[in-house]
Structure 1
């Protein structure tokens, strides 16, 4: 019994060190990507990494849904559905990043109504991106009982939402700003975009760890 307790304690300590190193490495990776990026356009490496993060979020969300589906004596189709919807939402955001759906919709709206692009009408795509974040956070809050098993996920999701709000604000650059501040806002927009996706990804991994612990598939 003593040996078992010592072994579990050792595994727990070892796992914490691994997670700390992994998280630190991931933060360093994001910082390197942002600091070495030669451009911040829609087809830049920053967008590629952001797309990858969201695609991984979708994959992790799908795994969580599968884990819940196979839980013994606690099959809950509502919980499975919630995580499937969340995974689908992340997949949509990844595709939006890759194929610029919000930009295309912005141009379509201008074309349909015969609008000329102005400083105000050009903010339609910003509103769409803001709506994505608001819809996602509202979905999580309305279904928070299905995320209660992982308070860490909820906290990271809140951080991701706040960063997305800051991203939209930074993307609305040009309103009352002196020219010297616009490049700074543009850089800050990309930082918040990538770090927000990073928060969501880490939160999804925390949720996956918590659900696997609940199923006793992790032994620390």
Structure 2
């Protein structure tokens, strides 16, 4: 499949999915069920994360074959290492998506240090997700020479991180009603929260789609070199 076709498919799939999910139900609460933890969107997100991991693992195998035998081992800067790390990272993110690891860490930190939950500490899970994203950026920076080989992938990776940080920002704002209640009248908070929740999940799914397309573009480049 071409990179452009995959990109269009991901846009249409995620856009239609979110639109359909947000319209499925009579009440706002019924329509929100698909966007809650363990709902339809969670499972689709996890599948997309696993697809990214699979593409990255394939890239790692191909780059390993291209690596001179003498430099394959004990060389953490080898090209295949970054793709293996990315594959493992996205596998972890898929597990986190389904099991809410970052949510559990948030609660554990409160219990461990005896911290009373406040508007700030209740957003620790959002900070952890931000650290996930920052770690990904750091990894790509360390291996920027390898990543820079794939010019066609770079716009998708940049878009993916931009959408991801937008999703995290919205999640941070809507984690509790304190921010919205400070700027909106009570009658508008529920509707605004629902719209932001839908937008947050849409941005998250689109960011995953961009990562998948970007790594697919890199995979096509490597495959063509080997063919």
TM superposition score normalised by structure 1: 0.84
Deviation at 1:213, TM superposition (A): 1.2
CA contact (8 A) 1:30 1:195 kept: yes
Is residue 201 from structure 1 mapped to residue 212 from structure 2 by the alignment? yes
Please point out which of 35, 55, 58 is paired with 1:60.
55
Q: Residues 21, 139 of structure 1: CA spacing in aligned structure 2 closer, same or farther, 3 A cutoff?
A: closer
Match of 1:131 in 2: 131
Mapped to 2, the partners of 1:145 and 1:31 lie a distance apart of 34
Deviation at 1:206, TM superposition (A): 0.6
Mapped to 2, the partners of 1:168 and 1:22 lie a distance apart of 25
- The higher-RCO structure (CA 8 Å, 6+ apart) is 2
CA contact (8 A) 1:68 1:75 kept: no
Match of 2:225 in 1: 214
Task: Pick which of 35-44 and 84-93 moved more.
Answer: 35-44
Unaligned runs of 5+ in 2: 22-30, 73-77
Correspondence list, 1:139-178, <5 A: 139-173=139-173, 174=177, 175=179, 176-178=182-184
Match of 2:104 in 1: 104
Q: Residues 76, 212 of structure 1: CA spacing in aligned structure 2 closer, same or farther, 3 A cutoff?
A: farther
Q: Residues 145, 192 of structure 1: CA spacing in aligned structure 2 closer, same or farther, 3 A cutoff?
A: same
CA contact (8 A) 1:69 1:76 kept: no
Unaligned runs of 5+ in 1: 1-14
CA contact (8 A) 1:137 1:157 kept: no
- Say what the alpha-carbon RMSD is for the aligned residues: 1.9
SS of aligned partner of 1:29: helix
Task: Pick which of 162-171 and 69-78 moved more.
Answer: 69-78
SS of aligned partner of 1:110: helix
Q: Residues 111, 82 of structure 1: CA spacing in aligned structure 2 closer, same or farther, 3 A cutoff?
A: same
Mapped to 2, the partners of 1:74 and 1:20 lie a distance apart of 35
Mapped to 1, the partners of 2:221 and 2:183 lie a distance apart of 45
Is residue 46 from structure 1 mapped to residue 57 from structure 2 by the alignment? no
Is residue 70 from structure 1 mapped to residue 54 from structure 2 by the alignment? no
